[in-house]
C-alpha cells in the first residue's frame, strides 16, 4: 500500500532529509515566525509520516487519506514541540502522528460508536495516562472509575467500544510454515456436524406427521407463537393445541 511513489501529489522518492544542525536552524526560525522555515521543516519530516502509516497498511484505508491525517499530526507536533525538554523531535512527533491516525480510524470506523461512549473512553484514557505519570504505575479500572465518578462497567464498555476491529485474516502466528489466522481459532457452534444431523432428523420426523400437526409445530417452534395464538389462527381451542402438540412431539421422538 505504501510503496507508491506519489502520495497526495508528493513524490516520496525525492523527500529531503534534514540533518540535526539543519533542523535546529529551521526550528529557531520557526519560533521567530518564519513561515518558509516551517514549510521546509514539515517537508523535511514527511518521512516520519511515511514510516508511521506503514503500521496501518492492513486497515484497508487509502494511503493518501492516512498520509494527510499523519501530516496533521506532524504539524501539531511542530507547533507544540518544546526544545527545552532535550528530546529529539522524532521521539515527540511519532506518538503525535500515531495518535492522530488512530483518532481518524476510530471516528471513521465502520462500526458506529456513540459520541458519549467515545467521550467516556477518551476521558478514561486521559485519566489512565495522568495517573500512570503521577504514580509510576498503571491504574486499576476501579481507580479510573473513581476519578471519573462513573461505574466500572461503563468504563469497560466504553474502552471496548473504541477498540479497532480485527480482520479474520489477521495473522496471529507465523513460523517457517503456513501462517495461523484469527479465523483459524474461531469455532462455529451453529455449524458443526451434530447440528446438521439433528436438522435432518427433525425434517424426516416432521414428514411422518399429519398436515395439522406439522402446521402447529411450525407455528409454535419455528415462528415462536404461543398456544393461544396458534389456537386463534387455526380455529381450535388452546387445550386442543396443547394435546395435538404433545402427541406430535411424542410421535417424532420415535423416529429421532
The residue written with cell numbers 411450525 in the block is 218
Query: Which pLDDT score, from 0 to 100, does residue 1 have?
Result: 45
Contact 248, 213 (CB under 8 A): yes
Query: What is the model's pLDDT at position 179?
Result: 63
What fold is seen in the domain 111-163?
Answer: Arc Repressor Mutant, subunit A (1.10.10)
Give me the torsion for CA of 81, 86, 88, 91, rounded to 10°: -70
Task: Convert the pLDDT of each residue in 70-105 to its tens digit.
Answer: 899 999 988 888 877 778 888 888 888 988 888 887
Q: Which CATH number is 1-109's, of 1.20.120.1810, 3.90.650.10, 2.10.60.10, 3.30.420.40?
A: 1.20.120.1810
Q: What is the pLDDT of residue 27?
A: 86
Element (H, E) at 90: helix 89-107
What percent of the chain is predicted at pLDDT more than 70? Answer: 80
Q: What's the rounded Cα separation, in Å, for the pair 229 and 20?
A: 81
Using alpha carbons only, give the angle 131, 136, 137 rounded to the nearest 5 degrees. 75
Per-chain mean pLDDT for the chain: 81
Q: Which DSSP category does 209 fall into?
A: S
State pLDDT tens for residues 159-176. 887 776 666 666 666 655
- Architecture of the domain whose range is 193-253: Orthogonal Bundle (1.10)
* Residue 181, SS3 per DSSP: strand
Whether the predicted pLDDT of 240 surpasses 60 = yes
Phi-psi region of 15 (alpha: psi -120 to 50; beta: other; left: phi over 0): beta
% of the chain at pLDDT higher than 90: 5
Structure-block grid coordinates of residue 182: 484469527
The b/e string for 85-98 (b: 16+ C-beta within 10 A; e otherwise) is eeeebeebbbebbb
For residue 213, pLDDT over 60 is answered with yes
- Give me the residue label for grid cell 420415535: 254
Cell 473512553 -> residue: 121
**What are the extents of the domains in the chain?**
1-109, 111-163, 193-253
Residue 10's pLDDT is what?
72
- 6 forms beta bridges with 11
Q: What does the pLDDT look like over 172-193, one tens digit per residue?
A: 666 555 666 666 666 555 555 5
* 111-163 matches 193-253 in fold: yes
Residue 69 has pLDDT above 60, yes or no: yes
Q: What phi and psi values does residue 30 have, to the nearest 5 degrees?
A: -60, -45
Which pLDDT score is estimated for 2? Answer: 47
Q: Is the pLDDT of residue 4 over 60?
A: no
Amino acid at each position: 500500500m505504501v510503496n507508491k511513489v506519489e502520495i497526495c501529489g508528493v513524490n516520496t522518492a525525492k523527500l529531503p532529509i534534514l540533518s540535526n544542525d539543519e533542523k535546529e536552524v529551521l526550528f529557531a526560525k520557526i519560533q521567530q515566525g518564519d513561515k518558509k522555515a516551517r514549510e521546509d521543516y514539515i517537508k523535511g519530516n514527511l518521512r516520519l509520516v511515511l514510516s508511521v502509516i506503514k503500521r496501518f497498511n492492513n486497515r484497508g484505508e487509502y494511503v493518501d487519506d492516512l498520509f494527510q491525517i499523519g501530516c496533521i499530526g506532524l504539524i501539531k507536533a511542530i507547533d507544540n514541540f518544546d526544545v527545552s525538554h532535550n528530546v529529539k523531535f522524532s521521539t515527540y512527533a511519532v506518538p503525535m502522528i500515531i495518535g492522530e491516525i488512530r483518532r481518524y480510524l476510530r471516528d471513521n470506523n465502520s462500526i458506529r460508536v456513540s459520541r458519549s461512549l467515545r467521550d467516556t473512553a477518551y476521558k478514561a484514557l486521559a485519566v489512565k495516562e495522568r495517573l500512570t505519570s503521577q504514580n509510576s504505575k498503571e491504574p486499576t479500572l476501579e481507580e479510573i472509575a473513581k476519578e471519573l465518578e462513573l461505574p466500572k462497567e461503563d468504563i469497560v464498555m466504553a474502552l471496548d467500544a473504541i477498540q479497532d476491529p480485527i480482520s479474520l485474516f489477521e495473522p496471529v502466528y507465523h513460523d517457517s510454515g503456513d501462517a495461523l489466522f484469527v479465523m483459524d481459532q474461531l469455532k462455529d457452534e451453529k455449524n458443526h456436524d451434530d447440528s446438521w444431523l439433528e436438522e435432518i432428523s427433525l425434517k424426516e420426523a416432521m414428514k411422518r406427521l399429519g398436515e395439522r400437526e406439522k402446521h402447529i409445530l411450525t407455528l409454535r417452534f419455528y415462528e415462536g407463537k404461543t398456544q393461544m395464538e396458534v389456537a386463534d389462527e387455526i380455529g381450535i381451542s388452546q387445550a386442543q393445541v396443547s394435546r395435538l402438540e404433545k402427541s406430535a412431539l411424542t410421535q417424532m421422538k420415535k423416529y429421532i
